[in-house]
Structure 1
């Protein structure tokens, strides 16, 4: 059963890789806005789900939450070199969004 599970996951990764490689560069060339940002976050969440993570969480927030594991800490360090404090901010943004869902907007 584990082999079938792995085949499904990696098949999904393969199917998502091509559109991701084609869509992300085009989106980065478009003027910024909520639609572009939401699509990029959706792609990020898709990759996290394929890595057996929470499908509503970005990889950056997951890396911050899992930074006690050396593999995730390495990702935190890489992403934080690109954008300082990126992973912690991604995590805090997701916590704030969850609070808005539970308690409503301020």
Structure 2
């Protein structure tokens, strides 16, 4: 999964500010199924500042089978995709904030 944050106050620190202040190295990433059961978790690592935003990659493995998967980064809310959508996207879940 790739995660990008674009914030006018971001600077080159790759740490979010204001409503994104929970985004930085160590921010939890949770993957749940359609019923809200936790399937996997990881933490954001250091990001790379690229052209006005910060790009981070994180891998959550061995999620098991589910009809729907939801990803939540920090306290930013969940984004969901069906298993068919994820399979069509090569099991990649791209999330962008800002």
Q: Comparing both structures, which one devotes a greater share of its residues to helix?
A: 1
Determine which structure has more spread, i.e. the larger CA radius of gyration: 1
Q: Comparing both structures, which one devotes a greater share of its residues to strand?
A: 2
Q: Which has the higher contact order (CA 8 A, sep 6+)?
A: 2
TM-score between the two structures when normalised by the length of structure 2 = 0.24
